Structure 1
């Protein structure tokens, strides 16, 4: 419940303040607050502001955005379009343990710098719809963010990526299912669903066939490729993947973040260049937001730097972002997998399954 909104509406010179509580936590470890974007706006906050969140004596400074526009692990406050209220989290990692389990805990939001992050907000604020007719320029497959992955030595018809073929949360599952049937996909690496979730879906026909085949590997992940828990689970799933028949699909909900990171890893293992990995990653932003490097270079550069490059630097063991175009990803990513529990035979089987 919203406890207090400051008098900024009555006194334009007053710094915005909003007080409420943590009402719950979502599945990604983000704290859901008791106020909405409308409440923030009424109190005098705007997207792109730098704010502080106080919990007793603890105070954190962070940006206020309508999306997750920071590097992994950085704090932010988000008015995400599909969330019922404001969320406070650390991007992709979820909140640290000391901020978990604080339901009903009082929270105070204050303005620190008006418009302090407005450039990032303007560059990366992108919204998509779930209405097919809003995308007349796209094929059904592109609307579903479904496509073949062919970077490096990945063989034709071996690997695909998409939004979810099982959940219709974003209105695309039927289009994905039709695409998978056409491409005769046989196995799925599902990066978002648990067994319990899968049992609750009303799936399209071919998606049901895939699920009933026993060739769907469930590997629900947060979108933090630098986390040990992420990579422990992913590497176990990648060890299992070659035991299932090709062609393979990798998907999450949108086929954007988690799918993008896993496909980047697989592309690199199969000898893809930095340029190939980036090109495939950015196709998703054309499918959802009509963004291309040719006409939206600032946006695309920011997306790659904030999201994809963080993943590549972690897997490649590179600390200097400018060195990423020079990396031999096949060697670097293989070394990463070896150091995290995959042996040579398992790596060979994975690469052979994809080439």
Structure 2
């Protein structure tokens, strides 16, 4: 009997050694957590229609996709014939960068598309084409998705100051002194923030405005409520650039060049704004800051202030750390073979300005006016 007990004990120990994955681990809270590998079934669908932009509607319902375990923020593979494309599951086109694929969920329909691109032409898929959706990485795009869906209040009372509400501030990094360059939301937009941005810009003595968002038609829609801004425009102190948000595009660069040349030929203080003062104005500010000997840390801190102002994103949070890489990534996109480190930032900015059309004289005048 004792011999039998020893045999049983030996077998039990052997099983535990051979199959350690059957044991439980603990979460950060000390709760037991089973280690398990979940397998998600492939989902088959067909293309049933394409709109004029090349976005592809499938016969797959949102319910079917969700019931198979797929959710917003999952990265999936889409097989079209012998080709495989990767995309996140999202709710709108702007949830991905320009030119990227997406699986869009809208009500109970599922679409395969490209943000500002033609999915039909890119993939060759047409009505009747079979596609297969499979899991690539569960939840790997969720933080990005949530970041793009941050929400803000439109009530002044919910913010601690007019400046925070209007995302209005001077840029004081590197060789940029306070009171030379300001950035803000759109003082001419006609929303709840506009009157505050307009009043703050007027009080700051702004003499030159680079409007990255509007064209003449959209600006004049709100002329009745923007008296000071209207006067600035009528006296040729405002340039309207009507830019999109793709800072890597040729059109973006050409229009931004006009804005920087406008600064180089006019007196400050200067105001640079788009609609929120966050994305297009964020990129323009990164270039100016890099040109004027700012550090990466200074550039990051200024960029992230918009997210603190609007959304209360706090330093040290996962969301803060995720977004805070954006200025570095912007500079890396335009840097070419130049390493993105503090001492190289003026060179990176100068090379970019030349690439988009500024001359050496333009750049010198720009730097002199920013001092």
In the alignment, is the contact (CA less than 8 A) between 1:66 and 1:121 conserved in 2?
no
1:152 to 1:196, Cα distance in 2 relative to 1, 3 A? same
Counterpart for residue 290 of structure 1: 312
1:54 to 1:18, Cα distance in 2 relative to 1, 3 A? same
Cα distance in 1 for partners of 2:322, 2:364 equals: 35
Cα distance in 2 for partners of 1:57, 1:98 equals: 16
Residue by residue, what CA displacement relative to the aligned partner does 1:48-68 show, whole Å, maximum 9, x if unpaired? 123466899987431123575
1:115 to 1:155, Cα distance in 2 relative to 1, 3 A? same
Q: How many residues align?
A: 319
Name the stretch that deviates more: 140-149 or 234-243. Answer: 234-243
Counterpart for residue 50 of structure 1: 75
1:99 to 1:304, Cα distance in 2 relative to 1, 3 A? farther
Cα distance in 1 for partners of 2:295, 2:44 equals: 48
Cα distance in 1 for partners of 2:195, 2:112 equals: 30
Please, which runs of 5 or more residues in structure 2 have no aligned partner? 1-39
1:66 to 1:300, Cα distance in 2 relative to 1, 3 A? farther
Residue by residue, what CA displacement relative to the aligned partner does 1:170-215 show, whole Å, maximum 9, x if unpaired? x321221121122121221111112222222354332223222221
Cα distance in 2 for partners of 1:198, 1:109 equals: 45
Following superposition, the deviation at residue 157 of structure 1 comes to: 1.2
Name the stretch that deviates more: 335-344 or 280-289. Answer: 335-344
Cα distance in 1 for partners of 2:119, 2:104 equals: 19
**Residue 197 of structure 2, aligned match among 176, 179, 182:** 176
Counterpart for residue 90 of structure 2: 65
**Residue 303 of structure 1, aligned match among 323, 331, 334:** 323
Cα distance in 2 for partners of 1:344, 1:216 equals: 24
In the alignment, is the contact (CA less than 8 A) between 1:21 and 1:107 conserved in 2?
no
The aligned runs of 1:102-117 (5 Å cut-off) are 111-113=133-135, 115-117=138-140
Cα distance in 2 for partners of 1:87, 1:192 equals: 29
In the alignment, is the contact (CA less than 8 A) between 1:22 and 1:106 conserved in 2?
no
Following superposition, the deviation at residue 152 of structure 1 comes to: 1.2
Cα distance in 2 for partners of 1:87, 1:132 equals: 37
Please, which runs of 5 or more residues in structure 1 have no aligned partner? 1-11, 26-30
